[in-house]
A and B are shown apart, each in its own frame.
Chain A
Amino acid sequence: MPMPLRFLTAAATAAALAFAAPVAAQQKIKIGFITTMSGPQGVIGAYMKDSVELALDHLGRKVGGLETEIIYGDDQTKPDVGVQLAEEMLKKHQVDFVAGIIWSNVMLAVMPVVTGAGKIMVGTNAGASPLAGSLCNELYFTTSWNNDQTPEAMGKFVQDSGVNDVYVLAPNYQAGKDMVAGFKRYYKGRIVEEIYTKLGQQDYQAEITQLRSKNPKAVFAFYPGGMGIQFLKQYDQAGLRGPLPLYTVYTVDEITIPAVKEAALGGWETRFWSPDLKNQANQKYVADYKQKYGKLPVFYGAQSYDGILLIDSAVRATRGDLKDTRALVAAMRKADFNSIRGPFQYNINHHPIQNFYLLRAEKVAGGDIEMRIQKTIFEKHKDSYSQDCKMKW
């Protein structure tokens, strides 16, 4: 490029910025963040909020260079409360984005409300299959995964390890069934029995007695949150940890490990991310998180951190123009930010195409128990529902 032209371009850009600047300076970005802050699951929301705050710290408290206000909402794990919150955020607070949401059923209720109002919804956990398939929406993005992907990775690992006679346990609700379906999509060996327990059940002794009488070679389980703490403790107390390998998804994580310690040791998990994942963005995130909060982050938080960074990247790309939804969507599709999982692409249905790793709970220096990546199970794994999504880019 000859010198004068380059100078002209620079001058034009500077002029454009100069004219754009006053608009941007007056503007403020508002993000509604819905999660669960009360009740037994409130701990997950606390981890998510901590990560959102850390993302803001890293962005100098300015998302997309704009003055930022985050409005947090507590959905109490209830879809109707989630919808109420979203409506209040959209109408009263006039938010530009809504983000967060842990539970698939809450997301299925809230997403249409937000996208119906013409605003962008950034999911940071819930991964119900319809959202990736028939219900996919231009204005809906997720920084997590589709429910089936994580158990698919576990199914592949168990299948490749040549383990047979697996006993399967999960809570009796949609996500429980999704997890088992995902596992069975890649695990083709014998299943001794499939047991569905009551959602929120505390005592698994009856199931454990039943399980032991069937002499399986391995156990696959999905027990998120408090259910996981209970299941892991009782599995250990029954003397099964060790003799009977336990393959889980969303059960052994940075929230449950501190509550069960040794009872988690040796447990296998699959996940798209882990605190020990080696990339610059993640190492900074984990180190700063530990320094600020004195504990390890958990994947719910990692996804929420990415959610804020995704919004930041889009607002920067449109130079702070929050009204141009099409341009925001186009920018978000590029996923042009330093994700804690490393670079990734969006699939046609706005779900990440990403790696899945095998993790194991190990004793690390200092005596703590932490998850450690063992190997990569899937590279650039797509979910199994994107073909049902009719979206055109």
Chain B
Amino acid sequence: MTWGLVFEQSLNGLQYGVMLFLMAAGLTLVFGIMNLVNLAHGSLYMMGAYFAVAATQWTGNYLAGVALGLVATLMVGMLVEVVALRTLYERDHLDQVLATFGLILFFNELVAILWGRAALYTSLPSWLQGHIDLFTGSRYPLYRAAVIVVGLVVAALLWYVVTRTRLGMLIRAGASNRTMVGALGVNIKLLYTIVFGAGAALAGLAGLMAGPIYSVQPGMGELILIQVFVVIVIGGIGSIRGALVGAVIVGVVDTLGRAFLKPLLGHVISPTAAESAGPALASMMIYLLMAVVLAVRPAGLFPARG
């Protein structure tokens, strides 16, 4: 194990982390502000991936496909909020879980009807293929580097919007005390629709960036959703900062665990025992981490509400 390898694996972890962050940001805002448990967030991720593939094929241009995919996911998100979720804010969490689980089934079947059950073919434009040379002497896929950059830029933008703009102020106020914000004459319905749409667009962005590396198929959203819930529990529900820190921690811990846990265990216990314990433990790492965080700080690392 060399430091170059550790650096490269940390980059992999960071890339996974920013992907999780894009998902977690929307989910945590919706949970924090509207007090809504949205299991269908993974479906919006899936819709983003499908819309981008379809739009790229239709326009023949990758960037146009990305832009159209984002707009379409935003629209779907706002539509879902207006049609289905608005009635659920005052209901308890169990009803919300039930209803949004229904939305998962609805979207998975919709996608299977529209595009079929087989995974879609996705490709990258030539300017995103290839590699960059790392100072460690190895090569890193250019596309994954681009994902890291986009993720960090979005994080910076979100930070600016939430802390420096009037909309961000309302969002933060909504997260702290929804009733009071409504009482002060703010159009809380509109605010909710905007926040939900923005969250959907972020999930869509994660989905369309995942398309070229993962498999674009019905049910793809549920594969990532569980890790996203782990992220927001670790980071603190309703906190964008928590989502970013939680996502990067989860991404790096998961990746480094998969890469180095087995060889490290081999030094402590017998190599044959490490052979079977390593992979099992590596896949549990993020859940163990969550358990520890919950024990030490039950509200997460950066709780939104005081």
A residues in contact with B213, CB < 8 Å: 203, 230, 233-234, 237
Judging by beta carbons under 8 Å apart, are B141 and A238 in contact?
Answer: yes
A200: CB under 8 A from chain B? Answer: yes
Interface centre among A195, A200, A210 (most CB of B within 10 A): A210
Judging by beta carbons under 8 Å apart, are B279 and A258 in contact?
Answer: no
A residues in contact with B9, CB < 8 Å: 206, 209-210
- The closest CB in chain B to the CB of A237 belongs to B141
Cα separation A46 to B259 with both chains bound (whole Å): 36
Binding-face segment, B30-38, B77-85, B118-126, B183-191: B118-126
B residues in contact with A229, CB < 8 Å: 119, 214-215, 217
Cα separation A368 to B217 with both chains bound (whole Å): 21
B243 to chain A, nearest CB (A): 19
A residues in contact with B16, CB < 8 Å: 203, 205
Binding-face segment, B165-173, B219-227, B290-298: B219-227
Q: Which of B30-49 contact A (CB under 8 A)?
A: none
Of the candidates A194, A196, A197, A259, the one whose C-beta lies within 8 Å of that of B215 is: A259
Judging by beta carbons under 8 Å apart, are A198 and B283 in contact?
Answer: yes
A residues in contact with B275, CB < 8 Å: 194
B12: CB under 8 A from chain A? Answer: yes
B192: CB under 8 A from chain A? Answer: no
Of the candidates A38, A200, A213, A261, the one whose C-beta lies within 8 Å of that of B223 is: A200
Judging by beta carbons under 8 Å apart, are B219 and A209 in contact?
Answer: no
Cα separation A79 to B114 with both chains bound (whole Å): 29
B151: CB under 8 A from chain A? Answer: no
Cα separation A203 to B218 with both chains bound (whole Å): 17
Cα separation A250 to B126 with both chains bound (whole Å): 30
A84: CB under 8 A from chain B? Answer: no
- The closest CB in chain A to the CB of B219 belongs to A40
Could you give, for residues 84-116 of chain B, a 1 whenever the CB lies within 8 Å of some chain A CB and a 0 otherwise?
Answer: 000000000000000000000000100010001
Judging by beta carbons under 8 Å apart, are A197 and B258 in contact?
Answer: yes
Q: Which of B185-235 contact A (CB under 8 A)?
A: 212-220, 223-224
Cα separation A83 to B159 with both chains bound (whole Å): 52
- The closest CB in chain A to the CB of B16 belongs to A203
Of the candidates B5, B112, B120, B123, the one whose C-beta lies within 8 Å of that of A209 is: B5
A residues in contact with B129, CB < 8 Å: 237
A residues in contact with B216, CB < 8 Å: 259
Contact of A40 with B217 at beta-carbon distance under 8 Å, contacts A172-B279, A206-B258 already known: yes
A residues in contact with B141, CB < 8 Å: 205, 237-239
B280: CB under 8 A from chain A? Answer: yes
Q: Which of B254-278 contact A (CB under 8 A)?
A: 255, 258-259, 275
Cα separation A259 to B255 with both chains bound (whole Å): 26
Cα separation A195 to B9 with both chains bound (whole Å): 16
A212: CB under 8 A from chain B? Answer: yes
Could you give, for residues 36-58 of chain A, a 1 whenever the CB lies within 8 Å of some chain B CB and a 0 otherwise?
Answer: 00111011001000000000000
- The closest CB in chain B to the CB of A196 belongs to B279
Judging by beta carbons under 8 Å apart, are B255 and A206 in contact?
Answer: yes
Interface centre among B5, B217, B218, B224 (most CB of A within 10 A): B217
Q: How large is the interface on A (under 10, 10 to 19, 20 to 34, 35 or more residues)?
A: 35 or more
Judging by beta carbons under 8 Å apart, are A203 and B259 in contact?
Answer: no
Judging by beta carbons under 8 Å apart, are A230 and B214 in contact?
Answer: yes
Of the candidates B119, B220, B280, B283, the one whose C-beta lies within 8 Å of that of A43 is: B119
Q: Which of A193-236 contact B (CB under 8 A)?
A: 194-198, 200, 202-203, 205-207, 209-210, 212-213, 226, 229-230, 233-234
Judging by beta carbons under 8 Å apart, are A197 and B118 in contact?
Answer: no
B139: CB under 8 A from chain A? Answer: yes
B131: CB under 8 A from chain A? Answer: yes
B226 to chain A, nearest CB (A): 11
Cα separation A258 to B116 with both chains bound (whole Å): 13
Cα separation A206 to B279 with both chains bound (whole Å): 13
A114: CB under 8 A from chain B? Answer: no
Cα separation A388 to B22 with both chains bound (whole Å): 53
Cα separation A7 to B62 with both chains bound (whole Å): 77
A residues in contact with B112, CB < 8 Å: 42
A391: CB under 8 A from chain B? Answer: no
Could you give, for residues 239-263 of chain A, a 1 whenever the CB lies within 8 Å of some chain B CB and a 0 otherwise?
Answer: 1000000000000000110111100
Judging by beta carbons under 8 Å apart, are A209 and B12 in contact?
Answer: yes
Cα separation A195 to B279 with both chains bound (whole Å): 8
B227 to chain A, nearest CB (A): 10
Q: Which of B116-175 contact A (CB under 8 A)?
A: 116-121, 123, 129, 131, 138-139, 141, 143-144
Judging by beta carbons under 8 Å apart, are A42 and B258 in contact?
Answer: no
Q: What 4 pairs across the A-B complex have the smallest Cβ distances?
A: A259-B119, A229-B215, A43-B117, A40-B219
**A positions within 8 Å CB-CB of B:** 38-40, 42-43, 46, 172, 194-198, 200, 202-203, 205-207, 209-210, 212-213, 226, 229-230, 233-234, 237-239, 255-256, 258-261
* 14 A–B contacts, CB within 8 A, in A order: A40-B215, A42-B112, A43-B119, A43-B217, A172-B279, A200-B223, A202-B223, A203-B16, A210-B5, A213-B5, A229-B217, A237-B141, A237-B144, A259-B118
